[in-house]
């Protein structure tokens, strides 16, 4: 953290550094201001009323003869403390509510969505009132004590954080790392608070700094109209109010200096929020270099074929551990064509089945159907997915969650995006273990070292402290594999497990996956567009086109004697 701060400060323009120094000065005054004031900040001196700025009184005196400079030094303790306390209370109340509302709104159920909508409409009613008038009414009703002022300001600011966190949750809930967290068996709330909320932190931090500035203005405004902090407590709004009536007779200093101070405080808090956001970014390198690593995301696109041919389904000769029968997936009632149509296959213990096809064939949708991770509005219209004797489609989220990673484990595409970007490797593995068993952190860390050793990572102790952006693609994939196999599941579902890796690393990861699966007698369902992977690492291959399995057979037979025209086309494209 300190090194990231050092790197960030080196990158800041000089004017931002000046603002940061000014902000530190205001924090210093919040703590020590009343102690270093040269004159009393509350004792009146009628003989020194409204004296202009001079060597004795740098900012002059007010209508009561009190030194304005001394009161300005003491004011930050009042205004900033009230604003910070109110803001953190609004964050403490609003952020959890935002997570819960966002999670309920992302569900498919009509009841949960309706509940979230009702709550958001109530927030809109609260926000429809002018904030200042609303705060003034609350203070008037509950009296203007310091605690009531803090509660009133927190209450009017809380909806901002509810809406902000809710919007972040809705945008992050379908991100790969959130899907990966659910796939390893985390509850919905644990995923929301442990994985999604920390990723919303930078946005919340920036909003906190802005809200603190707004809360300072609100505190000053309440005092300006007489509904806030009562005299003789030094407070900027009250000082501006008492000095403004003397502007008409040319005595400008009682209002000017408190007004300038108020503006500088609000401005400095706004700029510092941006600086803190940069410091919190873990992607700042920790080797003392001032360069930053940039993660790139490659987008792929493909053509969808509309060929509709009779399909041949290949089932396992063993007692199936996973059996998919006639699964159909659509994007709601208006989708007549469907995304998956009558997909069926089965796989036995220790077997490996590859689902291959061009981009857009429906391979990933099939995988998410098996894992019950379909994003809204996609839904399974018909069919069944049986794991041993259990019908996965008939289970609710609380029933299927304990099975994830213990019995059914998944490796999703692009390993780096599956790892929590703001959490180091050790905490991720510890979190996955604690999601399924009561285990102390020290013991979980020891298990984490054993898992990293199992997947061939050298110096595992130091790797536990690494963040995802500090890992190579192969290293990140090995860590995903370690998490997926930590409980020796009965089936491993892998979606493009070597995406983004070079050929050498691909082979190492696939060999490791095959060896570990063989050791644990784990069945493997591999989704891939690479026919070479299917040929070398799978017992059977099923070919998908336009949401259907058009051909399935043993690997050697399918490659030697393809039947379906689309299979021949795929093999021909590889050979050419």
Annotate 381-443 with three-state secondary structure: EEEEEEECCEEHHHCCHHHHHHHECCCEEEECCCHHHHCCCCCCHHHHHHHHHHCCCCCCHHH
Buried b (16+ CB within 10 A) or exposed e, 283-309: ebbeeeeeeeeeeeeeeeeeeeeeeee
Which of 190, 189, 186 is closest to 406 using CA atoms? 186
Reply yes or no on whether the pLDDT at 67 is more than 70.
yes
d(CA 212, CA 205): 11
- Whole-number pLDDT of residue 10: 66
573: number of Cβ within 10 Å: 10
Torsion from C-alpha of 74, 76, 80, 82, nearest 10 degrees: 30
Reply yes or no on whether the pLDDT at 144 is more than 80.
no
- Whole-number pLDDT of residue 537: 86
- Give me the residues paired with residue 523 across strands: 491
Q: Is 322-419+471-575 in the same CATH topology as 76-279?
A: no
d(CA 500, CA 498): 6
Between 280 and 161, name the one with better pLDDT. 161
Between 434 and 90, name the one with better pLDDT. 90
Give the pLDDT mean for 536-544.
Answer: 89
- Give me the residues paired with residue 329 across strands: 340, 380
* Cβ neighbours for 463, distance < 8 A, ≥ 6 positions apart: 425, 452, 457, 471, 475, 479
568: number of Cβ within 10 Å: 12
The pTM score is 0.59
- Whole-number pLDDT of residue 37: 92
* Cβ neighbours for 2, distance < 8 A, ≥ 6 positions apart: none
Give the pLDDT mean for 348-359.
Answer: 88
- Whole-number pLDDT of residue 28: 94
Contact 247, 255 (CB under 8 A): yes
- Give me the residues paired with residue 379 across strands: 330
Lowest-pLDDT range, 300-309, 321-330, 350-359, 393-402?
A: 300-309
Between 9 and 133, name the one with better pLDDT. 133
Q: What residue has token string 């403004």?
A: 244
Q: Angle of helix 425-434 relative to helix 441-454, nearest 10 degrees? A: 110
pLDDT digits (tens, 9 = 90+) for 208-251: 888 888 889 888 888 888 878 887 889 898 899 888 888 888 89
Q: Which two tokens stand for residue 45?
A: 């001196």
Give the pLDDT mean for 270-274.
Answer: 78
Q: Which two tokens stand for residue 511?
A: 């060999």
Query: CA 19 → CA 39, 272, 558, distances in Å?
Result: 28, 8, 68
pLDDT digits (tens, 9 = 90+) for 543-573: 988 888 888 888 888 888 888 888 888 888 7
pLDDT digits (tens, 9 = 90+) for 85-96: 999 999 999 999
Phi, psi (rounded to 5 degrees) for 291 = -90, 155
Give the pLDDT mean for 475-497.
Answer: 86
Three-state secondary structure call for residue 528: strand
pLDDT digits (tens, 9 = 90+) for 292-340: 333 233 333 333 333 343 344 466 667 888 888 888 888 766 556 678 8
Q: What's the distance, Cα to Cα, between the start and end of the chain in Å?
A: 52
Contact 283, 292 (CB under 8 A): yes
pLDDT digits (tens, 9 = 90+) for 75-84: 999 999 999 9
Domain boundaries along the sequence of the chain = 76-279, 322-419+471-575
- Whole-number pLDDT of residue 571: 85
Query: CA 458 → CA 32, 49, 134, 204, 478, distances in Å?
Result: 51, 76, 60, 37, 11
Reply yes or no on whether the pLDDT at 100 is more than 80.
yes
pLDDT band at residue 277, thresholds of 50, 70 and 90? low
* Cβ neighbours for 182, distance < 8 A, ≥ 6 positions apart: 188, 191, 373, 404
Reply yes or no on whether the pLDDT at 131 is more than 80.
no
d(CA 171, CA 133): 33
Give the pLDDT mean for 372-398.
Answer: 83
Percent of the chain with pLDDT over 70: 88
Tell me which H or E stretch contains 492: strand 491-495
Lowest-pLDDT range, 25-39, 130-144, 278-292?
A: 278-292
Phi, psi (rounded to 5 degrees) for 378 = -65, 145
Which of 359, 348, 360 is closest to 321 using CA atoms? 348
d(CA 205, CA 269): 11
- Whole-number pLDDT of residue 183: 78
- Whole-number pLDDT of residue 298: 32
Q: Please, what is the average pLDDT of the chain?
A: 81
pLDDT band at residue 575, thresholds of 50, 70 and 90? low
The Cβ-side half-sphere exposure at 339, using a 13 Å CA radius, reads 22
- Whole-number pLDDT of residue 138: 77
* CATH architecture designation of domain 76-279: Orthogonal Bundle (1.10)
pLDDT band at residue 280, thresholds of 50, 70 and 90? low
- Whole-number pLDDT of residue 175: 79
- Whole-number pLDDT of residue 16: 81
Paired sense of beta strands 340-347 and 523-528, if any:
unpaired
Buried b (16+ CB within 10 A) or exposed e, 180-197: bbbbbbbbbebbbbbbbb
Query: CA 224 → CA 22, 67, 78, 221, distances in Å?
Result: 25, 19, 14, 5
317: number of Cβ within 10 Å: 9
Is the torsion defined by CA of 560, 566, 571, 576 positive or negative? positive
Highest CATH level, class, for 322-419+471-575 = alpha beta
DSSP string of 545-570? ETTEEEEEEEHHHHHHS--SHHHHHH
């Amino acid at each position: 953290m300190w090194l990231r701060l050092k790197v960030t400060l080196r990158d800041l323009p000089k004017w931002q550094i000046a603002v940061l120094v000014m902000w530190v000065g205001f924090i210093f005054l919040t703590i020590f201001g009343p102690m270093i004031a040269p004159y009393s900040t509350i004792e009146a001196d009628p003989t020194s009323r409204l004296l202009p700025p001079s060597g004795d009184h740098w900012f002059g005196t007010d209508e009561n003869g009190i030194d304005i400079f001394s009161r300005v030094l003491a004011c930050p303790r009042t205004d900033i403390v009230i604003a910070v306390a109110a803001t953190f209370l609004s964050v403490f109340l609003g952020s959890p509510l935002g997570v819960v509302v966002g999670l309920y709104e992302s569900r498919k159920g009509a009841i949960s969505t309706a509940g979230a909508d009702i709550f958001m409409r109530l927030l809109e009613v609260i926000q429809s009132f002018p904030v200042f008038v609303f705060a003034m009414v609350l203070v008037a009703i509950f009296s203007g004590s310091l605690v009531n002022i803090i509660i009133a300001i927190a209450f009017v600011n809380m909806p901002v954080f509810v809406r902000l966190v809710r919007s972040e949750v809705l945008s992050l809930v379908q991100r790969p790392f959130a899907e990966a967290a659910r796939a390893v068996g985390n509850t919905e709330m644990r995923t929301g608070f442990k994985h999604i909320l920390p990723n919303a932190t930078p946005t919340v931090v920036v909003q906190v700094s802005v809200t603190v500035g707004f809360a300072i203005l609100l505190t000053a405004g309440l005092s300006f109209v007489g509904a806030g902090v009562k005299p003789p407590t030094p407070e900027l709004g009250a000082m501006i109010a008492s000095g403004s009536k003397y502007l008409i007779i040319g005595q400008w200093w009682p209002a000017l200096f408190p007004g300038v101070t108020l503006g500088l405080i609000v401005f400095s808090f706004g700029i510092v929020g941006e600086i803190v956001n940069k410091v919190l970014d873990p992607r700042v390198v920790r080797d003392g270099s001032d360069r930053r690593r940039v993660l790139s995301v490659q987008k792929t696109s493909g053509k969808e074929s509309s060929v509709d041919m009779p399909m041949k389904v290949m089932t396992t000769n063993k007692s199936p551990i996973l059996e998919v029968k006639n699964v159909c997936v659509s994007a709601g009632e208006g989708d007549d064509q469907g995304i998956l149509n009558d997909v069926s296959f089965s796989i036995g213990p220790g077997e490996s089945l590859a689902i291959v096809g061009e981009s857009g064939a429906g391979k990933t949708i099939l995988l998410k159907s098996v894992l019950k991770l379909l994003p809204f509005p996609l839904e399974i219209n018909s069919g069944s997915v049986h794991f041993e004797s259990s019908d996965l489609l008939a289970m609710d989220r609380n029933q299927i969650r304990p099975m994830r990673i213990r019995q059914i484990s998944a490796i999703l595409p692009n390993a780096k995006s599956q790892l929590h970007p703001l959490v180091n490797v050790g905490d991720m593995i510890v979190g996955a273990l604690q999601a399924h068993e009561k285990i102390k952190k020290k013991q979980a860390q020891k298990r984490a070292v054993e898992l990293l050793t199992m997947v061939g990572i050298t110096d595992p102790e130091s790797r536990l402290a690494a963040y995802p952006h500090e890992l190579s693609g192969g290293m990140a994939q090995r860590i995903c594999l370690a998490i997926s196999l930590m409980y020796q599941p009965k089936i491993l579902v892998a979606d493009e497990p070597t995406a983004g890796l070079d050929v050498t690393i691909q082979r190492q990861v696939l060999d490791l996956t095959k060896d570990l699966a063989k050791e644990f007698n784990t069945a493997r369902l591999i989704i891939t567009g690479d026919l070479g992977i299917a040929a070398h690492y799978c017992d059977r291959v099923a070919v998908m086109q336009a949401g259907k399995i058009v051909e399935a057979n043993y690997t050697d037979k399918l490659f030697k004697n393809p039947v379906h025209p689309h299979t021949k086309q795929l093999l021909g494209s590889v050979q050419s």
